[in-house]
Structure 1
Amino acid sequence: MLPRLVIHNSISPDGSTTGFDANLDVHYGILGSYEPDAMIVGSNTAKVGTQFFCEKIPPEDKEDFKKPDIHPDDTRAYWMIADSRGTLEGLMHVFRRSEYSKDIIVLVSEKTPESYINYLKERDYDFIRAGVERVDVRQGLEIAGERYGFKLVVSDSGGILNSILLEQGLVDEISLVLTPEIVGKSGTNLFRGIEKSGIQLELSRNEIVEKKYVHLVYRVLKE
């Protein structure tokens, strides 16, 4: 069964996800309020995000080759990273060490390099194989729901993965933190990869946060 899926992102009024300093306390504070079972992110977004965790990629140590001990009361979300090309080989320990992550689950495809699969196995990362050339996100989410009992997944990713999620009709809700800054031509549109038009939304909630940001929540009206 498919988990409920929410897209969450911080954007400028002209729809960009880059070119401004996002308030991470507000962004992740709102995301955490959803209490998701897992967060899903694309490999490119994850790779760019390593700069937020460390200035320089640290070497692996023996603790990076085994799963972390997870307490039954741990409320942190798992991170699901779609990485069919093995983009994050040598970087996974950065995410596993994060205080915000329970552990990492990697979504791969049939064409994922075997060297990358061995890299994941050697370090005891869970992975879900879904799709042939690229990750079949729908199938991956279905397997995650069945295997781990996930009920709610939040996408904290970029335009490519979010566009795929919308086009495939997987999104139930869109949560946007509106930052009062116009980016202009240098911006990166949140849904720049989407080809399908006419996706209808219904505003379900709006609120002012810290007298500067606006949190908008839309329900996706499915056909």
Structure 2
Amino acid sequence: MKPYIISHMMISVDGRIDCPMVGQLSTDEYYVALEKLGPCSKLSGRVTTALECTAVKEETTPETGNAVGRESVHVARQSDEYTIVVDTHGKLRWQADEADGHPILCIVSEQVSETYLETLRSQGISWIANGKERIDLPKAMEVLYEHFGVRRLAIVGGGHICGGFLEAGLIDEVSIMVAPGIDGREGQTAVFDGITRQECNPFRLKLESVEQWDSGIVWLRYKTRKDE
């Protein structure tokens, strides 16, 4: 069992998601649509979190010490919704135990140190540690469902996180808001990025709805077609 997972992203017409660039095109509509998706925990990667989350104190090198080396789960407190961060090597340092009004939950790999997890524990922050070299996303989603009661999850950034979840076959719905503008800069991250397995391409979708907003934004919602 796993949560129902929605990738919800605002993009330029050319599919780029750089936050400052998209922010110049529109911001409020993104959060209005996010609310319309219904109650759900929000998940983002380390880069997006470091850029946007005020609960982050700093981003630094991983703490040294003995690696955990095993799956570990700590529930600091139960909640209807969580602010979830994928931080493979434990580079983020925190100055609060919640963000956007919800408890922080860190998903890390088993490479992080025992010291880092003890720091999270002392700060009242929950964690899931699994995967020897990289996070085992399917297993982490099972833990979210079983231990934290997460039934709906929205991925809110960034491109490599969305790509990783897509490649793992975990995304149930794709919610895309196309803002009326073009980025065009070379090397900018796309909404789904970093997939290396050529046999995965393409991922087929089924269009569920289209909305045109007064601001010029078009909101597209798709279901993933996992039978193909």
Structure 1 position 113, deviation (Å):
2.1
2:108–2:127 contact (8 Å) kept in structure 1: yes
1:8–1:154 contact (8 Å) kept in structure 2: yes
Residues 1:46 and 2:43 are matched in the alignment: no
2:163–2:194 contact (8 Å) kept in structure 1: yes
Q: Aligned partners of 1:164 and 1:15: how far apart in 2?
A: 17
Residue by residue over 1:115-137, the C-alpha shift from the partner in whole angstroms, topping out at 9 and shown as x without a partner, is 21121011121111221122211
2:103 match: secondary structure:
strand
1:36–1:154 contact (8 Å) kept in structure 2: no
Q: 1:167 to 1:57 in 2, by over 3 A?
A: closer
Q: Runs ≥4 in structure 1, deviation > 4 angstroms?
A: 67-70
How many residues were matched structurally?
203
Q: Aligned partners of 2:51 and 2:203: how far apart in 1?
A: 29
1:2–1:145 contact (8 Å) kept in structure 2: yes
Amino acid in structure 2 at the alignment position of 1:78: Y
Amino acid in structure 2 at the alignment position of 1:217: R
Structure 1 position 36, deviation (Å):
3.4
Where in structure 2 are the equivalents of 1:11-22 lying within 5 Å? 11-18=11-18, 19-20=21-22, 21-22=24-25
- Could you say which residue in structure 2 is the equivalent of 1:128? 128
Where in structure 2 are the equivalents of 1:1-223 lying within 5 Å? 1-18=1-18, 19-20=21-22, 21-50=24-53, 53=54, 77-89=81-93, 91-93=94-96, 96=98, 98=99, 100-186=100-186, 187-195=188-196, 196-223=200-227
Q: Aligned partners of 1:101 and 1:155: how far apart in 2?
A: 17
User: Root-mean-square deviation (CA), in Å?
Assistant: 2.3
Structure 1 position 84, deviation (Å):
2.2
1:163 match: secondary structure:
helix
Structure 1 position 189, deviation (Å):
1.2
Give the TM-score normalised by structure 1.
0.83
Residue by residue over 1:151-206, the C-alpha shift from the partner in whole angstroms, topping out at 9 and shown as x without a partner, is 11110011111101000100011001110101102432111212331110111101
2:57–2:95 contact (8 Å) kept in structure 1: no
1:180–1:212 contact (8 Å) kept in structure 2: yes
Q: 1:211 to 1:44 in 2, by over 3 A?
A: closer
Identity percentage over the alignment?
Answer: 27
Structure 1 position 9, deviation (Å):
0.3
Structure 1 position 80, deviation (Å):
1.2
Gaps of 5+ in 2: 59-75
Residue by residue over 1:80-104, the C-alpha shift from the partner in whole angstroms, topping out at 9 and shown as x without a partner, is 1111211112x352x72x4x23111
